[in-house]
A and B are shown apart, each in its own frame.
Chain A
Amino acid sequence: MKIIHSQLQKLLPGLKTSPQQTANDLTLLGHFCAGLEKKQKEEIIDLEIRQNRADCLGYYGLAKELSVLHRLPLSLPQYPQQKFKTNPVPITVTSPNGVQRLLACTLNQIKNSPSPPWLAKLLTLHDINPINCLVDLTNYIMIYWGLPCHAFDQGKIPSGLVWEDSTRSQSFTTLDGTVLNLDPNTLQIKSDSNIVSLTFIGGKNSKVDLDSTDILIEMAVYDPTRVRHDSRQYKTITEASVRLDKFLDPNLIPLAFSHLISLIETHCQGQISSDLFDFYPKPTQTLPITFHPEKVNLFAGISIPKQFSLTTLKSLDCQIKKEKNYSVTPPTFRPDLNIEEDLIEEVIRFWGYQHIPTNKPISSRKFKDITPPLVYFIEHIQKILISLGYDEVRSWPLISEKQAPKNKKGLVYTENNINNHFPILRHSLLPSLENQVYQYQRFKVHPVQIFEIGKVYYQNKKGFQEKYQLGLYQPNLSILDKNLRELFKSLKIKPSCPSLNISPPISPYWEIDLEKLIKFAPAKLTKTPAFPNPPQTKSYELKKQIITLDANLILKEKKSQEKLLKIYTRKIGERYLWSLSITDIYHDPQTKKYKYSFRASYFNLSSAQAKKIHLKSFNLV
């Protein structure tokens, strides 16, 4: 939701804070400022409005918030009382569950024109294209009050309008010309047999243009779930749908609708030609909530004066009655206030979370340790494996059909996974490790010895199951065998134990069920953490293949290998050097010189760049 600071000041003439300060104030009230920019000499604040605060999807709601914060009065638009005629509005509503409230009337003798500059500029700053004065006024009212409304050219809807749930498939062309194929049970607005609008987007066949003289305007609040369902189903998100798919206040409609009529009368010379149609089968009401001001302190953990609580709630338009306790009835534009905790939150919100001390953490008193033994056990395995030189990887838990076992027994399929090539939750860690090794080979990372501790998934008679496995990859089988022995020795588990039944590895990939293994682990490894101080790690994001180049250096005398490596590491620079090693030293008895063979690997460089650095560093140019 974008707001122009100067427009906000029109509703709150006493607001003297800078745009930056207003943005901060709104953020600290819970409306996160995602950006502040200057356009056409106006300061625009971009706010993220939360799902439960639809009342703040317009200037009115946000001004109300600031008026409570700064205890400033609101200045609402003034206009003369509107006089409606006796002619009925030709509207029928056959979907009483879909429509919560609908106000409508007709106006004639309209003189439509392009919008005045102030209106066109305002809408442009809100990223809404100006169309013509009538349409733009409906959009203006939407961003002012947060309530969408729509104008129909009456000449294009001769038999009036019907709000109904569709019973058959039909196509509908939106204002921007997009054709939607509507399914049955879509809430729609029809004239004769034509669909002229949906709840959240108007139709091309009834649109208002510069020639329109007689119009029907309406403002409605619907069942938000219906609007969300319909707009998502037809993948059409509009400024109207963003508002209508939330809980809007039907009781605010008369105020906003009168404002719209007065603006049309002023800017398009329109005259009311009908009665006011008001469909409101179940008027919205809010229930009183018992409020204990002392609970505010309990929840906040600090002392907030009772008077502040009561004044804040009163400023929010809550009705307060003093009974045994306080009985607080929230206004209908705040459907998010339902229980006492909601009222407490309001008080703390306006007091300011920033006034709660930050240096008093929860007491470090220990309760019963409810850590599952497997959590400790996994930490100990991680510690042993890194001490054995293994690097940890984490991979996708989803695999392709090709990687799944042929019999497909017990596999868990996802219904709507984003990547159709990987629809199955892995039954084993080995396919994931294979993918990882393949990736490392692509990037020419070697030598590789890796492990992963992760979940595998399957289903059986008991339903969906998941368990932790350990997977290892080491290309040299004798090293793998030795490492496994070391692992079991450190875990104090005998791999020869018949119930474990571990045989020497026959493949570079090896895995074991940790839930099975833990049964043989000593208590120390399942009851204490392994890392009082977690180790540091330094990892790199590879974007290109590693380039490996050799260099020979002839030296007059023998030198320390460590020193040489240090010198050339510094010369090449850590930024692109992946690894450096001395692969050979040859002493020529004839020349009495020493030949040192170096192998340098470079990362995130093209081969030409790597070669350039290599030649320069080893003075080979």
Chain B
Amino acid sequence: MLTQKIGKEYKKNIKNSSSFQELESLRVKLLGRRGLLKQAFTDLKKSNPTQKKIQGQKLNKLKNNFEKLIIQKTKELKALKPLASTLPSSPTPRNISQSHKFGHLHPITVTELEINSIFRSLGFSVYDGPEIETDEYCFQRLNVPPDHPSRDLQDSIYIRQPTFLLRTQTSSIEARLLKKEKPPFKAAFPGRTYRNEKVNKSNHFIFHQYQGVAVDKNISLKDLIGTLDTLFKHLYGPKAKVRYRPKYYPEVEPGLGLDLVCFSCQGQGCPLCKGAGWLEMGGAGLIHPHVLKIAGINPKKWHGFAFGLGLDRWVMAKYQLSDIRTLLGGNLAYKPQEKTL
């Protein structure tokens, strides 16, 4: 059910929106076919008749208010002069004009910003770190043993200087964060990572990850699983089904893998999920006590969780891209706006 608190928050966001795009995104989130209100009306069907009547009236009122607010804000925005036009300032002889055209952010950026926004609402900072890394931050501080396969030349891209490589995972930022910051802290960080993989339709040597870390007293698997579930439900709706299963990663203990019911086939099995019905979204776990200890954090006092999500396949599915190379390949394009005389 759409709570009063959320309603107030959205009203505030509508009032504060500074662009048509922002306003449209809010309209879709609230009043769209899969919007919050539609969902609330669907949920209402399950309630008893008395509740249905009371809640239904409330929701209708809320819907009307939102509609009025959006219409009012649209008028306000139209009245504003556009920030700039992409056309030359002097009109052409045939007096061609063009309505204001907005550009587009890359789908990876949009996805990162969406996730940033969710984690910011949970009190996380957004962090960053270097791509050229040392063996120490990429492996040693993350408890990756010296003989781990990821350290092989076949798996990592090294720089022409011993012990320097392009980061193979955003966990290297985690290692820096743990060393630099004093607990408690919460931070999330999107980033580009590199592995020595052959490039084809479904694999790339450059890919994107989204990582998060929280260190505080008494952090448990329940906090981690609840946080990840909140993320997926924000992105895929309240009915998104996520599965958590044990998985080994050297930097966490216990570790877990997280799978989302395939958004293409709803768990029935399809080429995207290779018939499994589930899509592997990433890995997570409670930070290994050795990792905390190496960073100078007392594992008896502080606990933490960390998670890493692969963004590329996620973005591909969302934007219906069939080839991973498109994300960085130059054939990803945006439709121009209509042009009239």
Contact = CB atoms under 8 A, between A and B. Distances in A.
B113 A531 contact: yes
Contact of B219 (A362, A533, A539): A362
Interface string B166-191: 10000000000100010011110000
B247 A301 contact: no
Nearest to B215: A367
From A341, A389, A414, A447, name the one whose CB has the most chain B CB atoms within 10 angstroms: A389
Contacts of A397: 131, 192, 206
A529 B120 contact: yes
A413 interface: yes
Contact of A379 (B113, B166, B286): B113
A245 to B, nearest CB: 8
A228 interface: yes
A408 B227 CA distance: 47
A341 B214 CA distance: 18
A479 B104 CA distance: 18
B102 A386 contact: yes
A541 interface: yes
Interface stretch (B14-22, B40-48, B67-75): B14-22
Contacts of B222: 300-302, 356-357, 360
B34 interface: no
B284 to A, nearest CB: 11
A14 B104 CA distance: 60
B287 to A, nearest CB: 10
A503 interface: no
A479 B128 contact: no
Contact of B159 (A341, A363, A387, A464): A464
A541 B206 contact: no
Contacts of B127: 370-372, 375
Given A30-B247, A353-B256, A439-B330, A362 B214 contact: yes
Given A354-B244, A379-B113, A415-B159, A562 B340 contact: yes
Interface stretch (A152-160, A307-315, A575-583): A575-583
A590 interface: no
Interface string A498-542: 000000000000000000000000000000010111111111111
Interface string B71-110: 0000000000011111111000010000011111111111
A356 B321 contact: no
A368 B340 CA distance: 51
Given A30-B246, A533-B22, A418 B199 contact: yes
A43 B125 CA distance: 49
From B128, B154, B181, name the one whose CB has the most chain A CB atoms within 10 angstroms: B128
B123 A389 contact: no
A279 interface: no
Given A415-B158, A533-B22, A33 B248 contact: no
Contacts of B29: 533
A342 interface: yes
Interface in A463-509: 464, 466, 476, 478-479, 482-483, 486, 490
B26 A362 contact: no
A27 interface: yes
Interface string A377-399: 00100101111111111111100
Interface string A430-446: 00000110111011010
A34 B275 CA distance: 8
B230 interface: yes
B248 A358 contact: no
A438 B330 CA distance: 8
B136 interface: no
B24 to A, nearest CB: 7
A50 B159 contact: no
15 contacts: A30-B245, A300-B222, A301-B220, A302-B222, A345-B254, A363-B123, A384-B83, A397-B206, A415-B158, A479-B88, A531-B117, A534-B117, A539-B104, A539-B319, A541-B322
Interface of B: 13, 16-17, 19, 21-22, 24-26, 28-29, 82-89, 94, 100-110, 113-114, 116-117, 120-123, 125-128, 130-132, 147-149, 152-154, 157-161, 164, 166, 177, 181, 184-187, 192, 196-199, 205-206, 214, 216, 218-227, 229-230, 242-248, 253-257, 274-276, 280, 286, 288-289, 303, 305, 319-323, 326-336, 338-341
Interface of A: 27-30, 32-35, 50-53, 224-225, 228, 232, 298-302, 336, 339, 341-342, 344-345, 348-349, 353-354, 356-372, 374-375, 379, 382, 384-397, 412-419, 425, 435-436, 438-440, 442-443, 445, 447, 449, 451, 455, 457, 464, 466, 476, 478-479, 482-483, 486, 490, 529, 531-543, 561-562, 565, 569, 578-585
Given A392-B104, A534-B25, 16 more contacts: A32-B247, A298-B220, A367-B123, A367-B125, A382-B105, A387-B83, A388-B86, A412-B132, A414-B159, A417-B196, A438-B330, A482-B84, A486-B83, A533-B25, A534-B114, A565-B338
